[in-house]
Amino acid sequence: MMRLWRFAATAVLLAAVAPVGDALAQTVKLGIIDSYSGPMAGVGEQLDRGIRLYMQEHEKDLPKGVKLEIIRRDDTGPNPAVAKRLATELITRDHVQLLGGAIFTPNALAIAPLATEAKVPFIIMNAGTSMITTKSPYIARVSFTLWQSSYPLAEWAAKHGIKTVYSVVSDYGPGIDAEQAFTKGFTDNGGQMLGTVRVPLENPDFVPFLQRAKDAKPNAVFSFVPAGKQATALMKAFGDLGLGAAGIRLIGTGDITTDEELQNMGDVALGVTTMFHYSAAGQRPANVAFVTAYKAMFGQNQEPSFEVVGAYDGMAAIFHVIDAQQGNIDPDKTMELLKGWRDDASPRGPIYIDPQTRDIVQNEYLRRVEKVNGQLENVELETIPMVKDPWKVLNHQN
């Protein structure tokens, strides 16, 4: 009996120190910086759901003996100092080989120099200001840029009877990009901007800004605000002030009709026309399967927004680099693998990472909010295929 016990104890000890199986156990560490608390926590939850859904479907596809450890950190919202501290800790203490996430542009910009210094590839899953990718050769973006949606929307508007526009955007990186992209696309095609205002990012009150827009009597208001509750607040203020009743249309980037908030916005959202790279209502088979899997995991009344898809595709890119290197992550090899990475069947359509700029190339869809079976949906009407970030094209960055 004694002997048996000693044997058992030795076996347990051995199991704890020695890797079992033919391949040496290998753990890849991925640090995720996301906004899990604060007023933007709903958006952060969307991004995290994309990670969870991808892991549920594909964890089994990791190379044999390779594990992915995801270390999640909460930047609490647009807070670059916190993002910088968290990225520093993830790199120096946790020794992550990859970074991902970043809802907000200022946070992505705070992390960029750390990615360069430590040579840690940083896969941006949301933040959309065009110039972010120029700030580190270790950044690849799988999300979108505001130029990608605002510029083609402006061209469409100018050609479809909208002659005058008033712009209302959030006063920071992506808002300024959206305003500048729309203004260029619209005025180059004969449209006239009647005014542009920028609303504070923190605790915005949209009423005085939309009142000014209403007084200018434009054909349409163009808007970008960060998705989530701000989008719903913008929509409500637009309705309450009677802009729609005064014959003013609302157009913008898809952030303002973000899918997970659409039912909360109510009928005021009907007819709002946006340009964007993802709609939960998209009829592509890959998207139908994606939405079905999402609802099975998170609830039948839940709709995946673009942040879910950004994170989901970001994980697909991460799995690609892990697979190609069998879990031995080399930073420069990783960046080479990300350049030109493509997925012809993302839920949003075909996507690829432009090798010159490390930025995403994807379809943009013209959408209008309509009621389908009693539910508000961003119905896709037209496709503008494989749009490269126009800011980079116009500034000869590629």
Number of C-alpha atoms within 13 angstroms, CB side, residue 59? Answer: 10
Only segment of 2-10, 123-131, 314-322, 383-391 that touches ligand PHB (CB under 6 A): 123-131
306-324 and 331-338 helices, crossing angle to 10°: 120
Residues within window 313-372 making contact with ligand PHB, judged by CB under 6 A: none
* By CB under 6 A, residue 255 contacts ligand PHB: yes
Q: Is 46 in the site for ligand PHB (CB under 6 A)?
A: no
Give the residue with the Cβ less far from ligand PHB, 99 or 127.
127
Q: Does 291 bind ligand PHB (CB under 6 A)?
A: no
Least distance CB 224 / ligand PHB (angstroms): 7
Cα–Cα distance between 259 and 385 in angstroms, integer?
21
SS3 category, 342: strand
Place of tokens 């203490």: 93
Residue ranges in 58-77 that form contacts with ligand PHB under rule CB under 6 A: none
CA angle 361, 54, 253 (to 5 degrees): 40
| Shortest separation between residue 17's beta carbon and ligand PHB, angstroms | 46
Q: Does 128 bind ligand PHB (CB under 6 A)?
A: yes
Q: Are 317 and 353 in contact (CB under 8 A)?
A: yes
Q: In terms of CB distance, is 255 or 354 closer to ligand PHB? A: 255
Q: How far apart are CA 216 and CA 214, in angstroms?
A: 5
CB atoms within 10 A of CB 128: 31
Tell me which stretch binds ligand PHB (CB under 6 A): 3-11, 98-106, 310-318, 355-363: 98-106
| Of residues 199-218, those binding ligand PHB (CB under 6 A) | none
Q: Is there binding between residue 174 and ligand PHB (CB under 6 A)?
A: yes
Rounded-to-integer distance, Cα 108 and Cα 33, Å? 9
- Cα 2 versus chain centre, distance: 60
Is residue 378 at the binding interface for ligand PHB, with CB under 6 A as the rule? no
Taking the CA atoms of residue 256, residue 258, residue 264 and residue 266 in that order, the dihedral angle to the nearest 10 degrees is 60
180 counts as binding ligand PHB under rule CB under 6 A? no
Question: What does the alpha-carbon distance between residue 124 and residue 334 come to, in Å, rounded to a whole number?
Answer: 14
Q: Which of 336, 353, 350 has the alpha carbon at shortest distance from 386?
A: 350
Report how far residue 261's alpha carbon sits from residue 238's, in angstroms, rounded to the nearest whole number: 16
Asked if 304 is part of the footprint of ligand PHB (rule: CB under 6 A), the reply reads: no
Q: Is 226 one of the binding residues for ligand PHB (CB under 6 A)? A: yes
122 binds ligand PHB (CB under 6 A): no
Q: Are 55 and 322 in contact (CB under 8 A)?
A: no
Question: Which residues are CB-contacts of 258 (< 8 A; sequence separation ≥ 6)?
Answer: 227, 228, 231, 305, 306
Q: Which stretch binds ligand PHB (CB under 6 A): 92-100, 103-111, 276-284, 334-342?
A: 103-111
Considering the complex, what minimum distance in angstroms separates the CB of residue 272 from ligand PHB? 15
* Residue 34 interacts with ligand PHB (CB under 6 A): yes or no: no
Stretch of 126-134, 186-194, 213-221, 239-247 contacting ligand PHB, by CB under 6 A = 126-134
User: Two tokens at 45?
Assistant: 């939850």
In the complex, least distance from residue 378 CB atom to ligand PHB, rounded to whole angstroms:
14
Amino acid at position 101, single letter: G
Q: In this structure, what DSSP letter does residue 61 have? A: G
If we measure between CA atoms, which residue out of 364, 379, 355 comes closest to residue 280?
A: 379
Binding of ligand PHB at residue 254 (CB under 6 A)? no
Q: Is 222 in the site for ligand PHB (CB under 6 A)?
A: no
* Contact stretch for ligand PHB (CB under 6 A) within 102-110, 208-216, 344-352, 365-373: 102-110
50 binds ligand PHB, rule: CB under 6 A: no
User: Using the rule CB under 6 A, is 105 a contact of ligand PHB?
Assistant: yes
Contact between 127 and ligand PHB per CB under 6 A: yes
For residues 154 and 119, what is the distance between their CA atoms, to the nearest angstrom?
A: 38
Residue 185 within binding range of ligand PHB, rule CB under 6 A: no
CB of 80 to ligand PHB, least distance (A): 11
Residue 257 in the binding site for ligand PHB (CB under 6 A):
no
Q: Do the Cβ atoms of 388 and 398 come closer than 8 Å?
A: yes
Residue 104 touching ligand PHB (CB under 6 A) = yes
Site size toward ligand PHB, by CB under 6 A = 10
Taken in order 229, 234, 237, 243, is the CA torsion positive or negative? negative
Interface positions with ligand PHB (CB under 6 A):
103-105, 127-129, 174, 226-227, 255
